[in-house]
């Protein structure tokens, strides 16, 4: 079943140049139909070499590449290239051809009928979100971003289902780049194109890819989904490529509640008196106590305001405590919890285990620390699991 | 001047025609050989260096000496003159073709190849159109050189407007010298002008309307 979807597969592919070092070695990559594969690495990592082997612009020295079930070597290079879209950094539009001639360059090589080419040109200029009148213009009369839009849609002119892109947006300003990223993502998601995309921009890769191949000095370092790479960077090189900030953000996304909760919430049992509750609040500097029964099962909370209102009439915690509206399990993701706290105005969220035992508490103060780390960095980055929160956190919840 | 025309008018037309004939022949031969050779050399960088320096050396041979050297091989008359001038026309055309082709944006050649053009398609549809201005300026340069140098061809019996000039020198007759020189100059300027128009025609547009 897997092999039916498989469209390109590198098998122990290596390329070395005469007298020089290996450009790439031991490349084993499988690309499935409809995937958006980003090859990422520093310059000289072999990512472009790897990509260019797919349309036989570069021939492997060793190993083989299986393309649509057959050895790539059995394909005629020129005819093969006409079936694979190709987009390069500086758009590669022919300056002496009109936009229309540029778009229909491959169809012309394939000797399509003129009216079929005209239709295709109109269809693609629409896809590029440019007016039809642009078809008669020359590339020099378009802005850089518009030129690259044409460069991208040109790669589809002969209904190619695979598109190779070599750092296509490297020379564009950030806003234009965003637009074009939307365009290529659309090609992959809506039109089902398989895209192999070389970049050195990790943001771009994380944004677009369904599958990232990280390369360094001619070797594949890690080959996985963006999520998995963020959560389990293969080695220090990958970590460095990702950067501290992204790792922290990713960590925030995947941290569970138990990672950041305070394990020592201010609490009181049902049977205790309000006087004891006030003493506990005063001692811990909080305005709210979590209420449990004698077996540490979470029952609810009691806050200073309520005690103040009703102190004259009641004397026991069990008389005036309120049930919790919201609590989380230890295994919940922090991102869900933090949203509730930050957006819905909860001051804190009690944390329970599967048996409703009170385990800890997440407060606004705990979140501040996470955000602080994301913005200013964290010293003990090497061990992100070991985040320790100051003891005061549980007490600070009243500040919120 | 009118008396000069009365006296030499018909001769002038014949000599001018000879001049055109010799120069055009040499230039056309030069284009036929040098342009394809220049294109071919862009595929063989090592050979290119040698060929360039050899044709550069040929250029340094004094023109009169080159013409004289042709006599033992081709005798006298138009043939040795055309051959010698052809050799002269080679270098500017060859060098400009080579440089023009080399200067074509590597991105475009890469795109042409990546989109599935054959080498020939890439040369004819992309590289030659893109390098046309530089190739043409080589041809124009050669043409002007060859037209003026072909006056020397009269020395080896090829005829042309050089006959007037050499006769003028021998007979110490300045009007003959001037009468020979002016048409040569006009011819060179005219040829350059016409080639300029031709260059505009063959240079592909990169904008919708040009002034």
Residue A35 belongs to domain with CATH number? 3.40.50.300
A249 assigned to some structural domain: no
Verify that A17 and A83 share a domain, yes or no.
yes
* Cα B78 to Cα B89: distance, rounded to the nearest angstrom: 16
Domain range for residue A355? 257-399
Measured between CA atoms, how close is B196 to chain A, in angstroms? 19
The verdict on residue A248 lying in a domain is no
Last residue of a domain, one of A184, A218, A243: A243
Q: Mutate which of A55, A105, A147 to test chain B, going by most B C-beta atoms within 10 A?
A: A105
For residue B1, pLDDT beyond 70: no
Q: How many domains does chain B have?
A: 1
Minimum Cα–Cα distance from B106: chain A residue: A92
> Range of B72's domain?
2-202
Domain of A307, CATH number, reads: 3.10.580.10
- Helix B174-202 vs helix B128-149: angle between axes, to the nearest 10 degrees? 170
If asked whether residues A235 and A374 sit together in one domain, one would say: no
Go through A128-145 and write b for each residue having 16 or more CB atoms within 10 A of its CB, e for each that does not.
bebeeebbebbbeebeeb
Residue B208 lies in a domain: no
B110, B115, B128, B129, best to mutate vs chain A, most A CBs in 10 Å: B115
User: In the prediction, which pLDDT does A194 show?
Assistant: 93
A165 interfaces chain B, CB cutoff of 8 Å = no
Tally Cβ neighbours within 10 Å of residue A308: 11
Q: d(Cα A232, Cα A270) in Å, to the nearest integer?
A: 44
Same domain, A276 and A222: no
What pLDDT is attached to residue A389? 47
Walk across the sheet containing A36-41 and list its strands.
Answer: A84-87, A162-166, A194-199, A36-41, A211-216, A219-224
pLDDT of A392 reads 45
Whether B49 has a pLDDT exceeding 60, the answer reads: yes
CB A307, CB A317: distance < 8 Å = no
Q: What is the mean pLDDT of residues B52-69?
A: 83
A153 contacts chain B (CB < 8 A): no
Same domain, A313 and A268: yes
In a domain, B207, yes or no: no
Determine the average pLDDT of the residues in B22-42: 93
Look at residue A377 in the predicted model and tell me its pLDDT.
Answer: 61
Q: For residues A340 and A377, is the Cβ–Cβ distance under 8 A?
A: no
Q: What is the pLDDT of residues B111-148, one digit of tens each?
A: 999 999 999 999 999 999 999 999 999 999 999 989 98
Domain boundary residue, one of A204, A219, A243? A243
Q: Output the pLDDT for position A354.
A: 82
Total domains in the fold of chain A: 2
How far B199 CA lies from chain A's nearest CA (Å)?
Answer: 15
pLDDT in tens, chain A (400 residues): 444 588 999 999 988 887 666 688 889 999 999 999 999 988 888 899 999 999 999 999 889 999 988 999 999 999 999 999 999 888 789 999 999 999 999 999 999 999 999 999 999 999 888 999 999 999 999 998 899 999 999 998 998 989 999 998 888 888 888 888 988 988 888 888 999 999 988 888 888 899 999 998 888 999 998 888 888 888 888 888 888 777 777 666 667 777 778 888 888 888 888 888 888 888 888 888 888 888 888 888 888 888 888 877 888 888 888 887 678 887 777 766 776 777 667 778 888 888 888 888 888 877 777 777 766 665 544 444 554 544 444 444 444 4
Q: How confident is the model at residue A398, as a pLDDT?
A: 45
List the single best residue of A59, A82, A96, A134 to mutate versus B (max B Cβ within 10 A). Answer: A96
| Residue A202 sits in the same domain as residue A269 | no
Q: Which residues of chain A have a CB within 8 Å of the CB of B129?
A: 96
* Statement to judge: residues A171 and A128 lie in one domain: yes
Whether B184 is covered by a domain: the verdict is yes
**Residues A87, A233: one domain?**
yes
CA distance A341 to chain B (A): 53
Asked if the structure places residue A251 within a domain, the reply is no
- Are residues A380 and A276 located together in one domain of the fold? yes
Q: Using CB atoms, which residue from B108, B113, B130 is nearest to A57?
A: B113
- Interface residue B72 vs chain A (CB under 8 A): no
> Is residue A278, in this structure, part of any structural domain at all?
yes
Question: Which residues fall within 8 angstroms of residue B42, CB to CB, at 6 or more apart?
Answer: B48, B98, B101, B102
On whether both A174 and A271 belong to a single domain, the answer is no
Alpha carbons A112 and A110: distance in angstroms, whole number: 6
Phi/psi for B161 (5° steps) reads -65, -15
Q: Are residues A355 and A230 located together in one domain of the fold?
A: no
Q: ∠ CA(B116), CA(A157), CA(A59), 5° rounding?
A: 30
**Ramachandran angles phi, psi of B58, nearest 5°:** -55, -35
Contacts of A57 in chain B (CB under 8 A): 110, 113-114
* Confidence at residue A21, expressed as pLDDT on a 0 to 100 scale: 65
**Amino acid A400: pLDDT:** 40
In a shared domain, residues A296 and A204: no
Give the pLDDT confidence score for residue B25 in this predicted structure: 92
If asked whether residues A238 and A276 sit together in one domain, one would say no
Cα A335 off chain centre by: 15
Of A200, A220, A243, the one marking the end of a domain is A243
Are B206 and A140 an interchain contact pair (Cβ–Cβ within 8 Å)? yes
**Domain with B81 in it: what CATH number?**
1.10.3720.10
Q: For B208, which of A57, A83, A141 is closest by C-beta distance?
A: A141
In angstroms, rounded to a whole number, what is the distance separating the alpha carbons of residues A15 and A46? 9
Of residues A89, A105, A137, nearest to B115 (C-beta): A105
């Amino acid at each position: 079943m897997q092999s039916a979807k498989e469209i390109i597969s590198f098998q122990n592919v290596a390329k070395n140049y005469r007298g020089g070092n290996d450009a790439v070695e031991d490349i084993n990559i499988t690309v499935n139909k409809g995937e958006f594969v980003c090859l990422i690495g520093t310059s000289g990592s072999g990512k472009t070499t790897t990509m260019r082997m797919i349309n036989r612009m570069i021939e492997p020295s060793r190993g083989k590449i299986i393309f649509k079930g057959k050895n790539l070597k059995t394909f005629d290079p020129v005819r093969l290239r006409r079936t694979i879209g190709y987009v390069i950094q500086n758009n590669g539009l022919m300056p002496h051809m009109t936009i229309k001639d540029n778009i229909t360059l491959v169809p012309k090589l394939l000797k399509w009928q003129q009216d079929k080419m005209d239709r295709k040109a109109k269809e693609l200029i629409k896809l590029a979100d440019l007016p039809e009148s642009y078809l008669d213009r020359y590339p020099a009369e378009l802005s850089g971003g518009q030129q690259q839009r044409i460069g991208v849609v040109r790669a589809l002119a002969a209904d190619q289902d695979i598109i190779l892109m070599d750092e296509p947006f490297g020379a564009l300003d950030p806003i234009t780049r965003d637009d074009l990223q939307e365009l290529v993502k659309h090609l992959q998601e809506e039109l089902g194109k398989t895209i192999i995309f070389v970049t050195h921009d990790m943001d771009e890769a994380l944004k677009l890819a369904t599958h990232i191949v990280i390369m360094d000095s001619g070797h594949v370092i890690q080959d996985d989904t963006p999520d998995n790479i963020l959560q389990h960077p293969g080695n220090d090189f990958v970590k460095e490529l990702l950067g501290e900030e992204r790792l922290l953000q990713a960590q925030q996304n995947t941290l569970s509640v138990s990672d950041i909760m305070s394990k020592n919430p201010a609490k009181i049992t049902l049977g205790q008196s309000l006087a004891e509750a006030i003493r506990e609040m005063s001692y811990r500097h909080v305005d709210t106590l979590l209420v449990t029964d004698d077996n540490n099962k979470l029952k609810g909370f009691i806050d200073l305001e309520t005690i103040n209102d009703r102190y004259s009439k009641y004397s026991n915690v069990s008389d005036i405590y309120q049930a919790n509206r919201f609590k989380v399990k230890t295994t919940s993701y922090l991102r869900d919890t933090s949203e509730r706290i930050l957006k819905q105005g909860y001051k804190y969220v009690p944390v329970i285990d599967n048996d409703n035992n009170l385990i800890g508490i997440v407060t606004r103060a705990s979140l501040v620390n996470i955000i602080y780390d994301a913005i200013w960095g964290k010293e003990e980055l090497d061990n992100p699991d070991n985040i320790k929160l100051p003891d005061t956190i549980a007490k600070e919840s009243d500040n919120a | 001047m009118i008396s000069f025309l009365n006296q030499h008018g018909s001769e002038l037309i014949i000599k001018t025609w000879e001049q055109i004939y010799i120069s055009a022949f040499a230039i056309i031969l030069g284009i036929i050989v040098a342009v394809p050779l220049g294109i071919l050399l862009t595929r063989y960088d090592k050979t290119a260096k040698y060929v360039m320096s050899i044709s550069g050396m040929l250029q340094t041979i004094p023109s009169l000496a080159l013409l004289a050297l042709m006599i033992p091989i081709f005798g006298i008359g138009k043939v040795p003159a055309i051959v010698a001038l052809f050799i002269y026309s080679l270098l500017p055309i060859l060098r400009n073709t080579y440089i023009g082709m080399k200067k074509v944006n590597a991105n475009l050649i890469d795109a042409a190849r990546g989109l599935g053009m054959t080498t020939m398609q890439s040369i004819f549809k992309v590289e030659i159109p893109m390098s046309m201005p530089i190739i043409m300026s080589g041809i124009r340069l050669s043409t002007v050189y060859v037209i003026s140098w072909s006056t020397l061809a009269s020395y080896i019996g090829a005829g042309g407007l050089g006959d007037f000039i050499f006769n003028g020198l021998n007979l110490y007759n300045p009007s003959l010298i001037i009468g020979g020189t002016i048409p040569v100059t006009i011819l060179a300027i005219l040829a350059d002008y016409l080639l300029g128009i031709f260059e505009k025609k063959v240079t592909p547009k990169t904008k919708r309307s040009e002034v």
